[in-house]
Amino acid sequence: MAFATSSRRILEAILATTSTAILFWFGNGLNPVWPLMWIAPLPILIFALRHSWRSAAIASAIAMFLAGSNMWSYLHNALGAGAIVWISIYAVAAVVFASSVLLFRALVLRGAPWSALLALPAASVAIEYLRNFVTPHGTAGSLAYSQLNFLPFLQVASITGPWGMTFILLLFPTAIAIAFHLRHTAPTQALRIAATGIGITAAVLIFGAIRLAQPSPHQLVKVGLVTSDLPQNDKIVGAGSDAQRLFHAYADQADKLAAQGAQVIVFPEKLAVTVAPYTQAEDSIFQSVATNTGATIIAGVLDVAALYKYNQARIYQPDAPIATYDKEHMLPPFESNLKPGTNLTLLHKPTQTWGVAICKDMDFANPSRRNGQAGVGLMLVPGWDFNVDRFWHGHIAVMRGVEDGFSIARSAKDGYLQVTDDRGRVLAQTRSDSAPYATLLTEVPSAHQSTLYLLLGNWFAWLSLAILAAALLRLYQLRSGETTS
């Protein structure tokens, strides 16, 4: 009999661990299947409430560690990270997930299911928020990015940023797990908890549907994007004649887009090295297009100055001095030798304001939030992805537009040419390798839209930290009560 019980427990552990690992593997990562994330933790949560804390901890940790294998190829092959880096990242993620599950389990089994309902989502948000400050990748690991294609749900980012999305994404399966556990012993409470989880989710989706149904502003800008993944262009081209050859090729494409009405044209990140004495000749190529066509041109370069190197966007406008923007957030180790910028670059047009950022800047709340506070209605973003992450990293920027009330025009090598509005809708998109010089031309709303997140910032992350502290205090009180009795 004991053998049968042990075998059944092992089988349940394997099924729960495997199910959650598979759901996380496909539901999160570079090409997420977003519906799976809504139930991904459910098998482990149900298992944790039926078995010992040791079994729950081991199963939870293994499930999360296995789920992280979906990022191995990306971290190793694209980013050049060694096995120890991947192991370190997902070992920490496994411990954090297991700890959150144990907190959830302890609260439910000690008669505090309402605290448990909030504790696990709050713990996950708290970890994501704190990790945002201590890693060079900002918010990039947030579970919220698995939901970028779920537009009604994405709208809650305009209130809470990604933190509210992660919270509700985990609140739903947590409520179902608690309700399932209490269905026989406390059916009324089980029903209330399930109704709460489902009701909050439904309210968020109704809000999102209403927000999506609101008409877009009529203030439109015609945007052109150009990118080339040809072997001779899919690198940082050297200064001088090579750079001028590439600039002339891009200028030809810009001329064609301007002839079709493009008012602003965005090229990718780090097209070529610019260094004196070649800079003036190189600048004149794009400046002449801007002057002759009236279009504004944004081109990414690696600018080598006397003391520092900058990942820079150079901005060419008709009858105006050349403006620049220096990238704030660098990708280690590839850009560890570059000096980060600190200032916004705003382009003030007669009835609107445009902002400029570069690639990885959009993984962070800032500088996007500062651009939103400055009234930017359109962000112009040169980028350079790693091909395999063209969807995941290319679409992370979408979240910033929903949070801060602006449209985005992003042109990336080894990625997408993509234009999105402030609701996260993809208005136009094409692959960078779809032609020798891939181009895209579309109209995009350019009026700034205010949001609560822009006004209040990371208030929901702080609320989650407070909820987590309250849950830990509640658990301490329950344990103290047990000891006393």
Residue carrying structure tokens 């025009």:
409
Judged by average pLDDT, the poorest of 72-81, 141-150, 207-216 is 72-81
pLDDT digits (tens, 9 = 90+) for 88-121: 889 999 999 999 999 999 999 999 999 999 999 9
Q: How many CA atoms lie within 13 A of 235 on its CB side?
A: 6
Asked if residues 294 and 337 have their Cβ atoms less than 8 Å apart, the reply is no
pLDDT digits (tens, 9 = 90+) for 367-414: 999 999 999 999 999 999 999 999 999 999 999 999 999 999 999 999
Hey, where are the domains in the chain? 2-214+458-484, 220-448
Looking at residue 442, what is its pLDDT? 98
User: Sorting pLDDT into bands at 50, 70 and 90, what band is 48?
Assistant: very high
Report residue 14 as tokens: 């394997």
Q: Is the pLDDT of residue 473 over 60?
A: yes
Looking at residue 106, what is its pLDDT? 98
Asked if residues 38 and 177 have their Cβ atoms less than 8 Å apart, the reply is no
| HEC letters along the chain | CHHHHHHHHHHHHHHHHHHHHHHHHHHCCCCCCHHHHHCCCHHHHHHHCCCCHHHHHHHHHHHHHHHHHHHHHHHHHHCCCCHHHHHHHHHHHHHHHHHHHHHHHHHHHCCCHHHHHHHHHHHHHHHHHHHHHHCCCCCCCCHHHHHCCCHHHHCCHHHHCHHHHHHHHHHHHHHHHHHHHHCCCCHHHHHHHHHHHHHHHHHHHHHHHHHHHCCCCCCEEEEEEEECCCCCCCCCECCCHHHHHHHHHHHHHHHHHHHCCCCEEECCCCCEEECCCCHHHHHHHHHHHHHHHCCEEEEEEEEECCCCEEEEEEEECCCCCCEEEECCCCCCCCCCCCCCCCCCCEEEECCEEEEECCHHHHHCCCCHHHHHHCCCCEEEEEEECCCCCCCHHHHHHHHHHHHHCCEEEEEEECCEEEEECCCCCEEEEEECCCCCCEEEEEEEECCCCCCHHHHHCCHHHHHHHHHHHHHHHHHHHHHHHHHHC
Looking at residue 19, what is its pLDDT? 98
Report residue 349 as tokens: 């047009």
383: nearest Cα among 340, 422, 419: 419
**Looking at domain 220-448, which of 3.20.20.300, 3.20.20.70, 3.60.110.10, 3.40.50.300 is its CATH number?**
3.60.110.10
User: Sorting pLDDT into bands at 50, 70 and 90, what band is 2?
Assistant: low
Which one-letter amino acid corresponds to residue 399? M
Asked if residues 16 and 51 have their Cβ atoms less than 8 Å apart, the reply is no
User: Sorting pLDDT into bands at 50, 70 and 90, what band is 282?
Assistant: very high
Which one-letter amino acid corresponds to residue 13? A
Task: Calculate mean pLDDT across residues 434-457.
Answer: 97
Report residue 438 as tokens: 């891939």
Report residue 244 as tokens: 């001028």
pLDDT digits (tens, 9 = 90+) for 291-348: 999 999 999 999 998 789 999 999 999 989 999 999 999 999 899 999 999 999 999 9
Looking at residue 5, what is its pLDDT? 61
Looking at residue 277, what is its pLDDT? 82
Task: Calculate mean pLDDT across residues 412-440.
Answer: 98
Cα separation of 324 and 382, whole Å? 13
Report percent pLDDT > 90 for the chain. 87
Looking at residue 317, what is its pLDDT? 97
Asked if residues 17 and 41 have their Cβ atoms less than 8 Å apart, the reply is no
Cα separation of 182 and 164, whole Å? 26
Report residue 384 as tokens: 């350079």
Mean pLDDT of the chain: 95
How many other CB atoms sit within 10 Å of the CB of residue 2? 6
Specify the length of the chain in residues: 485
Asked if residues 353 and 375 have their Cβ atoms less than 8 Å apart, the reply is yes
pLDDT digits (tens, 9 = 90+) for 159-200: 999 999 999 999 999 999 999 999 999 999 999 999 999 999
Looking at residue 485, what is its pLDDT? 53
Cα separation of 256 and 441, whole Å? 10
Cα separation of 98 and 322, whole Å? 53
User: Sorting pLDDT into bands at 50, 70 and 90, what band is 3?
Assistant: low
Looking at residue 483, what is its pLDDT? 62
Beta bridge partners of 431: 416
